[in-house]
Structure 1
Amino acid sequence: MDAPLVSVLMTTYNHAPYLAQAVEGVLAQQTSFVVELVLGDDCSTDGTAAICRDYEARYPERIRLVTGPHNVGWRANYRRTFDACRGRYVAYCDGDDWWTDPLKLQKQVERMEADPALGMCYTRAMNYWQAEDRTEPDEEEHFTDFDRLLCRLTICNCTTLARRELIARYYDEVRPEEHPEWMTDDQPMWLWFAARSRVCCLPEITAVHRRLPVSVSHSTAYRRRIAFCDSLMDISLWFDARYGGRRNRFRILRRRSSVALWVLSFEGSAGEYLARWGRDVWGCPRLLLTPEGAGLLVKKILFRRKKTQRK
C-alpha cells in the first residue's frame, strides 16, 4: 500500500450502534489519493471493539486499529490515535458522527494543497438530535478568525482536515494533558490553529454531528450544561491571554455569564441565579452595566409566574 496522504482519526468508545455508519462514510470517500482510517478504541465495554476488529480484518490495507489493555480516557486515546496517523493531513470523525459527502476529503485536500498557508479546513455540518430523531443544519454564519472563534466556535470537529505537522506542534506547545479542567480537546486545538495559522471554511455540508442525550458536551442536567459552557469560555480566556493579549477578555467573560444566566433563567431557583450573577459581577464589575443580568432575571420571574398560573 502506498503511503496515505490523509489519515482519518476516529476515536470510539461504546459506539457500537453508530460505528458502522461512521466507518462506511469514510470508506465511501472518492479520492485521487490514498486514505487510511485509524480507529482508536478505548477498551469499549459493548460490541465496539469487535466491530473495529471486523473492519480491520476486511480492509487490512485501509483500516488500522489502535487500542490497549486498559481504558486511558478520551484525551489520551485521541493522542494515541493521532500518533499512529501517517498522513500529511489528518481528518477527524468521532465514532458516533458520520460523513455524507463522498467528495469531502477530495475538496478539502485540493483547497489545502492550493494554499500552503492554510493550516486547517472545515465545512458545514448537520446536527442530528438522537433522542428526537431530528436533523437540522448548523448555523449559516461560520468564522475563521481567532477573535470571533474565541466567543463562538463554529467549527464542527467531524468536518475538519488539518496538517499533521501542525497538530503535532499544537500538542507540543499547548500540552492539553496538563489541563485536566478542560472538558474538550476540540476547542483548544482549533483555537490554536486560528491563532497560529490560517483557517478556511467550505460552504458545503459534508457531515452529520450526532447529539446524544447524555455526553461530555451535551446533558439534560442544567448544571452540567453550564459547567461545560464555563469550561469552553475558560479555554477561550486561556488562549486570549496567551495569544490574544487579553484584548477579548471582557467579551469572553460576558459570553460566559450570559450563557449561564440564560440557562438559569429557565432552570434552578432565583437564589441560584442571583448567586451566579453576583459571582460573575464580583469577578468583572463591568458586567453590572450589561443588560443580560437584570433582563434575564425579569424573564425568570415572569417565566416562573406563568408556570405557577398554569398549575
Structure 2
Amino acid sequence: MMQAIPKVSVLMLTYNQERYIEKAIRSVMRQETDFPFELIIGNDASNDETGAICRAWQDNYLDRIVLLNNEQNVGFQQNFIQSYAHCRGTYVAICEGDDFWTNRHKLQRQVDFLDAHPDYSTCFHRVINYFQDKGTKSLSNGGQKEDTTILDLARSNYISNVSALFRRGLFGELPEWFSRVSTYDYAIHLLNAQYGKIHYMKTPMAVYRQHRSAIWSEAGTDKKLNIALQIRELLMAYFIENKEVYDALRGAYASIAISLIRYYSSAGKGSEELISETESRLLRYFPEWTVEELKAREKIPSLTTGQQLEKYTMLCLKQGRALVSRFIPLPRM
C-alpha cells in the first residue's frame, strides 16, 4: 500500500545505469524530513541490471517507491512525461539515475523555504559537477544571484536539474509541444517560473555526474547548440504574447545561433550548407537584420594583447583548478 499523499515526489529517470542507480536511490531514501515523500523511478526498458536493482529497493520501500518499468524503450523525453504524470506531491524534486544528493537535509531545507515563501515557484542549489572520465570536479553557479525571475532564466539556463525543487501543477498539463524538446529541464523550469520567483541556496547538496554514456554529456558542441536552439524555438512560440520573456529568449537564441555559426566556420570546408541553414534559421527571428549585419556579428572580435593575456591566464587557472580537483574526493551523504 502506498502512503498518504506525499509532500514531495522525487522523480528519477534511468536507462542502463547499473553502475550508478543504487547510489542515486540511496541518496534519496536517506533524506531526513518531517514530511512524507515518494520516489518515482522511470526505468526505460534497461537491458542491464538497473531494473533488478530498482526492484530490490522497491521491495524494501513498497509504500514509498513507485517503479515504472517500460517494456519497450520510449526515449528520455517520453519517459519523463509518463513518470511526471505519476507524481502526487505538492512539490517535485529531480534526481536522475546517474546523479546523487549529498546532504540528508536537502529536501527539508528546500521545502521549508518554499512553504515560507509562496511567491516563489522554484528553489535550487549549488552542485558539484563531476567530469567522471577526467576525474575532475567544479562547483556550479559561481556569482549566482540569490533571487531571480523568469527574465533571468529566459536569458540563460543556470538551474542544475539535480538541484531543483518546484511546485507541481503551476501551469496545469504539460503543453503539447513538450514531447518535442530534446531535454526537459530548461522547458519545465521556465514554465514554472511564470508563476513565481526562483531562489538559490549556496550550499552544494548534490553531484551532477557527466560522463560519456550520459545523453547530454556525450553530445558534441554542434548537437548541444542545436538542441538549445530547438528548445528556445518552442519556448518562443509559447511565450509569444509575453514580450519581455520572448525578447529575452530571442536574445539568447541569437547568441547561441552565432556561436553555432562560428563553430561551423571553424570546421572548414563542407560546412557552408550548415552555416547557411543556421543563418536562415536566425533571420526568421531577426527579420530586421540585413545579411551584412549578420555577417558582421558572426566575426570573432579581435583581442588586444592585454585581453589575450587575460584569457590565457584564466585558462591556466582553470586547468590548474581542474588538476587539483582530481585529488579532492567526492562528498558522501
TM-score w.r.t. the length of structure 2 is: 0.78
How many residues align? The count is 293
State the partner residue of 1:155. Answer: 159
Equivalences for residues 1-311 of structure 1 within 5 A = 1-142=3-144, 144-166=148-170, 169-171=172-174, 174-177=175-178, 179-180=179-180, 182-219=181-218, 221-244=220-243, 246-248=246-248, 250-264=250-264, 266-269=266-269, 271-272=271-272, 275=276, 278-279=279-280, 282-283=283-284, 284=286, 285=289, 288-289=292-293, 292-295=297-300
Check whether the contact 2:58–2:65 (CA below 8 A) recurs between aligned residues.
yes
Q: Which position in structure 1 is the counterpart of 2:329?
A: none
Report the CA distance shift for 1:262/1:32 in structure 2 as closer, same or farther (over 3 A).
farther
Cα deviation code 1:197-247 (max 9, x no counterpart): 332222221111111225432335343233223223324433442434633
Unaligned runs of 5+ in 1: 299-311
Report sequence identity in percent. 26
Question: Structure 1 59/152 Cα, relative in aligned 2: closer, same or farther at 3 Å?
Answer: same
Mapped contact 1:237–1:252 kept (Cα < 8 A) = no
User: What SS does structure 2 have at the residue aligned with 1:10?
Assistant: strand
Task: For 2:250 and 2:154, locate their aligned partners in 1 and report how far apart those are by CA, in whole Å.
Answer: 12
- Cα pair 1:281 1:288 within 8 Å, conserved: no
CA RMSD of aligned residues (A): 2.8
Deviations 1:9-50 (A, max 9, x none): 111111111111111111221111112211111111111111
Cα separation, partners in 2 of 1:142 and 1:63, compared to 1, 3 Å: same
Could you tell me whether the CA contact under 8 Å between 1:30 and 1:103 is conserved in 2?
yes
Q: Structure 2 vs 1, CA of residues 279 and 113 (structure 1 numbering), >3 Å: closer, same or farther?
A: same
1:155 is displaced (CA, Å) by 0.8
In the aligned structure 2, how far is the partner of 1:100 from the partner of 1:125?
9
Contact 2:150 2:197 in 1 (8 A): no
What is the DSSP-based 3-state SS (H/G/I as helix, E as strand, rest coil) of the residue aligned with 1:227? Answer: helix
Q: Which moved more, 1:265-274 or 1:132-141?
A: 265-274
CA pair 15-175 structure 1, distance change in 2 beyond 3 A: same
Cα distance per residue 1:285-304 (max 9 Å; x no partner): 26854764112699xxxxxx
Query: Mean alpha-carbon deviation: is it higher for 50-59 or for 216-225?
Result: 216-225
Q: CA deviation at 1:266?
A: 4.6
Deviation at 1:256, TM superposition (A): 2.1
Shift of 1:109: 0.5
**Equivalent-residue separation in structure 2 for 1:220 and 1:165 (angstroms):** 31
Partner Cα separation in structure 1 for residue 127 and residue 217 of structure 2: 17
Take 2:302 and 2:278, find their aligned partners in 1: how far apart are those partners? 9
What is the one-letter code of the residue matched to 2:298?
Answer: G
Paired with 1:141 and 1:239, the residues of 2 have a C-alpha distance of 30
For 2:26, the aligned partner's letter is E
Counterpart contact for 1:39–1:81, Cα < 8 Å: yes
1:218 is paired with a residue whose SS is helix
- Secondary structure of the 2:227 match is helix
Q: Aligned pair in 2 of structure 1 residues 287, 153: CA closer, same or farther (>3 Å)?
A: farther
Partner of 1:241, secondary structure, is: coil
* Cα offset, 1:99, TM superposition: 0.7
1:226–1:260 CA contact under 8 A, matched in 2? yes
TM-score by length of 1: 0.83
Structure 1 residues 164, 266: CA separation in 2 closer, same or farther (over 3 Å shift)?
same
Contact 1:261 1:276 in 2 (8 A): no
**Cα offset for 1:257?**
2.0
Other structure's SS at 2:108 match: helix
- In the alignment, the residues of structure 2 paired with residue 86 and residue 79 of structure 1 have an alpha-carbon distance, to the nearest angstrom, of 14
**Residue 300 of structure 2: SS of its match in structure 1?**
helix
CA contact (8 A) 2:264 2:275 kept: no
Shift in CA distance, 151/57, structure 1 to aligned 2, threshold 3 Å = same
Of the structure 1 ranges 261-270 and 118-127, higher mean CA displacement relative to structure 2 is found in: 261-270
> Could you tell me how far 1:59 is from its partner in structure 2?
2.2
Q: C-alpha displacement at 1:268, in angstroms?
A: 4.7
Structure 1 residues 272-297: Cα deviation after superposition (integer angstroms, max 9, x where no partner): 48546744664432685476411269
Deviations 1:76-116 (A, max 9, x none): 22122222222221111111111111111010000011012
